[in-house]
Structure 1
């Protein structure tokens, strides 16, 4: 379960394009934040994706990826041309292919490696969908999890939403702002679509005689779409990025985008207090109705000449710290090796879990204590995100990652020394304790 948004120049305070996504996956499904270099390839070269091999492109772009550690594909990312993409699981009436095919995450990464604009990204995904289809198991331990996909593609000038149902699809150019979640959002006002889209709906009886075609009405699977609570999250996100009749002061800012990904809907939120997946900043609580956790977050601040990407590289954006990344071929500083299935203190993602899971054990008291320091550090990053004359763009990035790491270590020590004032219920505590034992997370959160 995920949430993705984009606001174009007309909807942002500074006239930039701002994109954001939370990737919600299983709580121990570590996510790699990585930079992968583009390259030239031979005419007969093959590419092995998560499940299948396909012909490789002759040239690929440099890409920044947020990738579940066991997949080839990515949940979200950007390329050297300023294209940024996020995908969503969507549930449709069309059959799901659980066998080998390109996953939605594969399609996303392939588009980033091959497309120079948001519109080209749509064309790449549609072409791959026609040639190879989509499918495959997309869950980490849940080997039943399979779905279709929607995509939000943006660049510094443009943005598109592309939604699929099996091999069928519809796409729309975005005018001001858009938010997608785990549901179809397009009606009949699409700019492009599969040629068989309407006839298929009519043939299957989903489009009744005399009714106007609506992609989401005809193709949505009611049960899974409803009980993903995607409409609640999408509407909450939409209201934050596109308030009704906004004044210039109310238009989306970078700070507002970070806040949107941290949104819990109301003050005083407690992760143990509700049953369903109805918050943008998602916290797992049980294996049945809330088995997903925000495992990675990315915001892209797209300006024509100097895009900046803001990533936590960790789970839970409310307990994570967004750090600036400039698109330079020097990797991502301070993230360590690609994380795996078990705790590894060398990995940024796993190191942060010591802080995250400590906060969960007294969330109402521990998060406010940490949040002021988190916000102050991010404000300093935002104020210094433009390199000074002669400074290499990665210098500020490296320093930001170092400062965030030091703050995390400091607060792990402080929280370990704080008494628990308001512990969550036993069932919730036991759920997270079992997850931590399975991953081998040390009790002190340091791994020493």
Structure 2
């Protein structure tokens, strides 16, 4: 279960942000795909480091300024942890990003393929945010059925169906199937999520609470929210502590320290494995420079149609959002090493959250301020290298505290 949002405001870029959740033992890497033909766009996306069958969620942005966030969602037709092969789905979504330039175009392409023989490439329950610099859509899938709503203002998804009767487009058989199954009596009480979501699974996973918390934080960021404000939304812990045995659903998710204990929900065994923020300016903003307000908000240069920042690591609350360029580079080995180092640091901090969560805090703040400023590509790459070097220092200190812990306990017991 992940959290993602879209923020649309007049005369400003469309912002999209996402925490991708997954298995703590499954590293994620960043990949930049070059266009293979003149009709395609370069694509930045994240994927599992290994050829995993079960990745569940994913996110990507293309050079034309189109972004997709895919989340699996429990429905009456399938469960969140069903055994569907997700590799075909990842290939399909990458293909949509490579071949589409607008949100509505991508929506129509996904619906077309979902309705055809390629439906098996997508899970039978999903939420897909689709955004460009002018508009955004939410597409939700349940079995063979689907519904879509045009986003106005802001929208948050947290691994559960949310479209009710507010849809703008819907599968022609949706109401008929819901009535046949006894999930609705008429069109008056029909809601796509109400009829097709798996209510017990949604309750256990805490999707509604998590979505409400993320939406509350997004509203609190204000109308002039920028990348730094949205990063704080993705780092939110809903007033709880990540190392608590029982904790409220958090936007920034951490794995339970007792993952195999009886009664621990599946979502509590997962964690945020990668985070992304992207600014998608409309065509008239891509040659900005005359409007100072847009300049400060976008931090874009005239040759940059969009800006993308990713952590490349788990736990955004302990990490740094850094710029990722569309120029082809071999990110996979570099980002997997960073991911594994950061996961070691993350787990060491969880073993003593109150004392250790501030390790590296001032350094992270300085790096991220630079990352959100308008920077040349070389400086962006430099930030990734600086983050890794600093992470080695933080990790050494966190593991030193781990080694000291038994000695401190022994002293207490000897008293």
Range of TM-score over shorter length: 0.7 to 0.9
For residues 117 and 398 of structure 1, the distance between their equivalents in structure 2, rounded to whole angstroms, comes to 29
In the alignment, which residue of structure 2 is the partner of 1:67?
A: 47
Match of 2:6 in 1: 6
| Structure-to-structure mapping, 1:283-432, within 5 angstroms | 283-285=254-256, 286-287=259-260, 288-289=264-265, 290-304=268-282, 305=286, 306=304, 307-332=306-331, 336=333, 339=336, 347-383=337-373, 385-387=374-376, 394-418=377-401
The equivalent of 1:432 in structure 2 is none
Gaps of 5+ in 2: 287-303, 410-415
Total equivalences in the alignment: 374
Distance in 1, matches of 2:270 and 2:402, equals 28
Q: Which ranges of structure 1 fall in alignment gaps of 5 or more residues?
A: 41-57, 139-145, 340-346, 388-393, 427-448
Is the 8 Å Cα contact of residues 76 and 108 (structure 1) preserved in structure 2? no
Offset of residue 114 of structure 1? 2.0
Say if 1:88 and 1:247 are closer, same or farther in 2 by CA, change over 3 A.
closer
> Residues 75 and 108 of structure 1 are in contact (CA less than 8 Å); yes or no, is this contact kept in structure 2?
no
How does the TM-score come out when normalised to structure 2?
0.82
Alpha-carbon displacement from aligned partner over 1:44-82 (angstroms, at most 9, x marks no partner): xxxxxxxxxxxxxx9543211111232488710111111
Which residue pairs with 1:273 in the alignment?
Answer: 244
For residues 363 and 403 of structure 2, the distance between their equivalents in structure 1, rounded to whole angstroms, comes to: 20
- Could you tell me how far 1:421 is from its partner in structure 2? 8.7
Deviation for aligned residue 1:100: 5.9
TM-score, normalised relative to structure 1: 0.76
1:271–1:360 contact (8 Å) kept in structure 2: yes
Secondary structure in 2 matching 1:127:
helix
How far apart, in 2, do the equivalents of 1:417 and 1:102 lie?
40
Is 1:28 aligned to residue 21 of structure 2? no
1:28 to 1:359, Cα distance in 2 relative to 1, 3 A: same
Partner of 2:107: 122
Q: How far off is 1:178 after superposition?
A: 0.4
Question: In the alignment, which residue of structure 1 is the partner of 2:98?
Answer: 113
CA distance in 2, matches of 1:264, 1:235: 13
Once the two structures are superposed, the pairs formed by residues 148-297 of structure 1 within 5 Å of their partners are 148-209=125-186, 211-243=188-220, 248=223, 251-266=224-239, 269-275=240-246, 278-285=249-256, 286-287=259-260, 288-289=264-265, 290-297=268-275
C-alpha separation between the residues in 2 aligned to 1:109 and 1:412?
34
Displacement of 1:328: 2.3
CA RMSD for the aligned pairs? Answer: 2.8
Give yes or no for contact 2:24–2:273 (8 Å, CA) kept in 1: yes
